[in-house]
Chains A and B, each alone.
Chain A
């Protein structure tokens, strides 16, 4: 057990946690996106509501979801620990700093981006997950298949300008966070090779553009076309 604590007590071990939880969250995003795309099926939300029910009742999914919550929490906690250690590693700041000449903005702003993404997730959970699971102010009706009509809630949320804007900002932050985070996770795992790294970087860039763009398409679609 000592070795286990030692690894995760070290800076590299903490980075490993960031990388593994990050990659897990990335894989979750993919699954989440695929399910959500059912919002576009022109059936008045039947497919979407069925998907929501499946997600909240399937025992396998439930188990994975706990892993997901744990990952988010771990990702955040380790990030806080690392960031505060990193800040204290330079007690006196430079008067003049030209960091833009040696590194990208998003790579230096992961903490800020992370906070934005976290705020977005919390907002998102409050809007849908909390309502659906614990029942908030919103009264669900049932759809033709007898499923709770969360589709109607989606339409309601995204019809407001605030709903749209807050999601777009969150997704923009997610884009930048992924743009650096995706390839960075592989580098931390030690996966860096002339043959594969360019591919990883390109896939990471594509992923960080496509996934937030697809997510963004939903509120935009609802706001302008529903």
Chain B
């Protein structure tokens, strides 16, 4: 295996939300196969900065696959071709030498582009604000062991809670639906005794907010699950449907 590789990059450039964007083509050379994808972009940015061009803007922060900030649509797939990782965990050895890599931002009405590859995902925050919490104030809570929780339920809740809110589910879905994201939070709290009191209200409110944000609806293609960097399961969507219908009929 060669140690360094060359690529042609086709990158979406858009100076700000108002302007019309376009693809620009760049060449990068001598990229170490051990480099991460974002390090490759760092190198590109160093080079184009030196040449006097505004660097390519992209969201990134922790660079270890947990903060959910990075969000690139690479060669037709969110977070690139590998399974269950984010862009920051993607390495250049995955991409053959002398190939073209297309990089686009997440595309959804609810995720407008801010600049280049950066989108506004505050819709997700508003969905959580509509009900993705347990209404307990600091203090005045029972002992942590006061309510035993079956391990199986705790584990399922953790599976759902692993969501990093990156938006790959929306990006992957042909309808730009946010069902996997919303259902992960609804499921986590529906599975735990602490979430019971507000269970119905939560399901109704979060779905309502999701619709208001302009996400599409779910057609059960499963693309979200396949692209989720944290492997969040489709059964969460089914659970949210149950929660929502039950809440609608009984609350």
Q: Do chains A and B touch in the complex (CB under 8 A)?
A: yes
Task: Please tell me if A226 contacts chain B, counting CB pairs below 8 Å.
Answer: no
- Tell me the minimal C-beta distance from B9 to chain A in angstroms: 12
- Bound complex: CA A103 to CA B108 (Å): 18
Q: Do residues A102 and B77 form an inter-chain contact, with CB atoms below 8 A? A: yes
Q: Do residues B242 and A89 form an inter-chain contact, with CB atoms below 8 A? A: no
- Bound complex: CA A189 to CA B246 (Å): 11
A101-123, CB under 8 A of B: which get 1 and which 0? 11110011010000000000000
Q: Do residues A88 and B222 form an inter-chain contact, with CB atoms below 8 A? A: no
Knowing A89-B175, A93-B107, A192-B234, the reply to whether A101 touches B226 (Cβ < 8 A) is yes
Among the stretches A9-17, A132-140, A167-175, A213-221, the one at the interface with B is: A9-17
B interface, by DSSP: helix, strand, loop or mixed?
Answer: mixed
B197-235, CB under 8 A of A: which get 1 and which 0? 000000000011011001111111111001100000011
Q: Do residues B208 and A104 form an inter-chain contact, with CB atoms below 8 A? A: no
A186-221, CB under 8 A of B: which get 1 and which 0? 011111111001000000000000000000000000
Task: Please tell me if B241 contacts chain A, counting CB pairs below 8 Å.
Answer: yes
Q: Which residues of A contact B223 (CB under 8 A)?
A: 99, 102-103
- Tell me the minimal C-beta distance from B214 to chain A in angstroms: 6
Task: Please tell me if B191 contacts chain A, counting CB pairs below 8 Å.
Answer: no
Task: Please tell me if B244 contacts chain A, counting CB pairs below 8 Å.
Answer: yes
With both beta carbons as reference points, the residue of chain B lying nearest to A6 in the complex is identified as B248
- Tell me the minimal C-beta distance from A45 to chain B in angstroms: 42
- Bound complex: CA A7 to CA B204 (Å): 9
With both beta carbons as reference points, the residue of chain B lying nearest to A110 in the complex is identified as B219
Max count, chain A CB within 10 A of own CB: residue among B76, B102, B104? B76
Q: Do residues A98 and B216 form an inter-chain contact, with CB atoms below 8 A? A: no
Assuming A89-B215, A96-B104, what are 18 further A-B pairs, CB within 8 angstroms? A10-B207, A10-B208, A12-B217, A12-B241, A88-B214, A89-B176, A90-B107, A90-B176, A96-B76, A99-B174, A101-B76, A101-B226, A103-B174, A110-B219, A187-B241, A189-B238, A190-B239, A190-B242
